């Protein structure tokens, strides 16, 4: 599982500058905010008794 996360991080880090050059900055920031909102919504669905998973 950790290897998959590392590969995803490397791919995302490699693609980000190219995307930032091709896409207007406002869209990049808006997309990042949308991903953030989705993450926060998912966190609200976690049962408080169970806590967050520890990988």
pLDDT of amino acid 50: 62
Q: Do residues 28 and 20 touch, judged by C-beta distance below 8 A?
A: yes
> How confident is the model at residue 55, as a pLDDT?
63
What is the reported pTM? 0.55
Q: 28, exposed or middle or buried, with CB in 10 Å at 0-12, 13-18, 19+?
A: middle
Residues 6+ apart with CB under 8 A from 28: 19, 20
Whether residue 1 contacts residue 53, with contact meaning beta carbons closer than 8 Å, is answered with no
% of residues, the chain, pLDDT over 70: 85
Please give the pLDDT value at position 54.
67
pLDDT tens for each residue of 25-51 = 889 889 999 999 999 999 888 777 666
CA 36/CA 49 separation, integer angstroms? 24
């Amino acid at each position: 599982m950790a290897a998959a996360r590392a590969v995803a991080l490397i791919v995302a880090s490699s693609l980000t500058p190219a995307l930032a050059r091709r896409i207007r900055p406002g869209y990049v920031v808006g997309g990042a905010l949308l991903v953030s909102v989705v993450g926060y919504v998912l966190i609200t669905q976690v049962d408080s008794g169970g806590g967050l998973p520890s990988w």
